[in-house]
Chain A
Amino acid sequence: MALTYTEIEQQKNTRILVFFLVVVLFYFLTALILLTLVKGFLIVYMDELRGVSIHISGKEAIITLLVAVGAAGVHIAHSVSNAMKYVEGSLAAQGLDYGDRYHKRLAKIVDEVNVATGSKYRVRPVVIPTVALNAFSMADRDNNAIIGVTEGLLSKLTRQQLQAVVAHEMAHVASGDSLQTTIGCALFGIYAAMAAGAMMGLRSGRYVRRSGKGAGAIILLLALIYITLGVTQFFYRLIRFALSREREIRADAIAVRLTRDPISLSEALYKVSSGWRGIGYIKRDLASLFIVNPAVDPRDEREGWLANLQSTHPPIRKRLKILTRMAHVGIKEIEENVRREIERREGLREMPGPGEQPLWMFSDAEGVWQGPFTLSQAMVVGWLTPDTWVKRLEGEGLLKAKNEPLLEPVFDSHLKAARVSDLVCPVCRQKMMEEEYEGVPVQRCAFCRGMLVGWRMLPRIGVRTEKGFDERIEKLAAYAERDHPAKARETKGRRLSPFKCPRCGKEMQRGDYSDTYPVEVDRCSACGMVWFDKDELETFQYMLEKKGVVPEGWD
């Protein structure tokens, strides 16, 4: 299946040409029909033209064709640039958060795979904020491309598997499939909108009420537009679907050639196909952009020319068979690999531990021993200087802070700037630390262990499974759920929080995150930061994982 890039480029040009011709055909037919109708209308209404034949002359046809070509060109040019925006908006795709470890990893992977194609494309990675597992790509004619990946995929796949998926999408971009599908989706959407518009025009009866033959002509016109649209749409769909299956398989092959790694792609496909692929969140008309069909459609698993025409994606089994044959392994081995990998990951979960230990007492300006302090707390305490007297908790030792090597980070302004935040804990009134919770950038108070998280980032925490839970958290979750109904009756929903938002200073609202997740949080309605007290975020995450449904936002 080795396809050289030249062959791919040539195919791309041919396909774009075919495409263009289909659109021209559509415009031509519509224009012809319009012309005939307008002529007929005029002939019927304007007596001077009586006797003129309704037949369209050769010259008229040519002019119509030229107009059609012009219109088609403008249409394609316009629809492509809007298509990318339309799809992005429809999926609520977001740019990357470079403070997030997982997003950063995706950025690096996309960069690297781009090099494999000779860096001909400007690729922008985006993330779809859903738990589903899927990925898509789009491209325009200026070699700009978008590769999108769901949050679910980012958290559930290993680096190698993620790389394989990105390579598959990159293959679509490099071979022109993305460009064609992008145009297709845009046109499809526009056709659908126009057809719906024509349908509405017919149904509204606005034209029926107007008396006379004029109304009849207009109804006929609308009906014919609708039918033409339907017919062209049908043929266009046929063309698209007929090639769609073959294109997916070819993209798999190119991805393997780019990465030289068929096993990772097999594992990734296996994982994606066994999870939720996004139907419900991803609209039907966008299905062909994705690596695996978002809907679980039994027609996908069938072979044969009829099935080829009806479904956009080839059977997963077939794709796995082809890939595993390249690697000289069996599908069973892939399933084993994935199962073992998931098991191992569960075992590697970071269990809640004792956390940072306090190590010192510090003598303040009046000579009073304050403490004990952990290293993070030492970084945040304002009055610590290199000459402050420090007493170690373990063993003997009274020394100046500047002589204690473990306290170096406190005085290294470079390091400090990276770890200490400008925001102040609403409870303890001390500066907070910038930390990472399962890859998400959060602020944590070194003293009360409360956390400040952007609410948009909460679904990410729900999807990722780095942290484990112990009995204490499970009990906390059980208590919260048990006490929730009584509390809700008492407080009647949300109320004003005693805290002001650490970031923007506005008032925060206090209340349970939702009825399903009765964890009490404080949320700033202006800037969307959410404050969790000690253990509340862990409890929240535990509930999310137990219930298996990740909320897409504040209810």
Chain B
Amino acid sequence: MIAGFVILAILVILIISFVAMYNRFAHLRNQVRNAWAGIEVQLRRRHDLIPNLVETAKGYLEHEKTVLENVVKARQQAVDVSGVQDKMQAENMLTQSLRSLFAVVENYPDLKADRTMMSLQDELTSTENKVAFARNNYNDWVTNLNMTIDRFPTNVIANMFGYRKADLFEIEDASVREAPKVKF
């Protein structure tokens, strides 16, 4: 009699844990997707700011056509591409092209002082910060998901239902990886 109850109790506990773990995966999976959407919102804002930037700079940078063209091309690529990996790569390319553009702008004090340019750069910096924060958020959720997939006992559920680890949003830029050498 008692043995029967014990077995029943154990079964009930097992079922509840099972359901809880499965639901946790559902929750995490959706949070990861939500976080990715958050990044996309910020990336979109960044894409929208760039045509304006290029227009403002065009008047001053008549002899720097390649730099501007690179930015426009990189932006178009970033807008067109889809899928986590490809998007990451495209965005990194865009960042690099923007960096070259701003390096060039340093040599044109007129352009630097132009009010529209200054406010656009300000907006762009703010958006870059937001992209960085959105990336942090995304990476946190992905780490959470990946940890749950790796840990015991949830890895059992993961294997059962085929949950795969998500990719972290990483920097591919080698020059960024290097710590800057500061000379005084």
Contact = CB atoms under 8 A, between A and B. Distances in A.
Nearest to A117: B137
A318 interface: no
B129 A112 contact: yes
B117 interface: no
B130 A118 contact: no
Contacts of B130: 111-112, 115
A407 to B, nearest CB: 15
A162 to B, nearest CB: 12
B140 A257 contact: yes
Q: Chain A at the B interface: mostly helix, strand, loop or mixed?
A: helix
Given A4-B144, A415-B115, A115 B126 contact: no
Interface string A474-491: 000000000000000000
- What band does the interface of chain A fall in when counting residues whose beta carbon is under 8 Å from B? 10 to 19
A418 interface: yes
A117 B130 CA distance: 11
Interface string B113-138: 00100000000001001100110110
Interface centre among B42, B129, B133, B144, by most A CB within 10 Å? Answer: B133
Q: Chain B at the A interface: mostly helix, strand, loop or mixed?
A: helix
Interface string A104-115: 000010011101
A112 to B, nearest CB: 5
Contact of B126 (A4, A111, A118): A111
Contacts of A260: 136
A118 B42 contact: no
Interface in A1-25: 4-6
Contacts of A257: 136, 140
B93 to A, nearest CB: 23
A418 B38 CA distance: 35
B35 interface: yes
Contact of B34 (A111, A118, A258): A118
B133 A258 contact: yes
Contacts of B115: 415, 418
A119 interface: yes
A116 interface: yes
A112 B133 contact: yes
Interface in B127-172: 129-130, 133-134, 136-137, 140, 144
Contacts of A117: 137
Contact of A118 (B24, B27, B129, B137): B137
Interface in A393-421: 415, 418
B42 A115 contact: yes
A242 to B, nearest CB: 29
Interface string A240-272: 000000000000000001101000000000000
Contact of A258 (B24, B126, B136, B144): B136
Interface in A411-461: 415, 418
Nearest to A107: B126
B82 to A, nearest CB: 22
A258 B135 CA distance: 10
Nearest to A104: B122
Interface of B: 24, 27, 31, 34-35, 38, 42, 115, 126, 129-130, 133-134, 136-137, 140, 144
Q: Which 4 A-B pairs have the closest CB atoms?
A: A116-B133, A115-B133, A115-B130, A112-B129
17 contacts: A4-B144, A5-B31, A108-B126, A111-B130, A113-B133, A115-B130, A115-B133, A115-B137, A116-B133, A116-B134, A116-B136, A117-B137, A118-B34, A118-B137, A257-B136, A258-B136, A260-B136
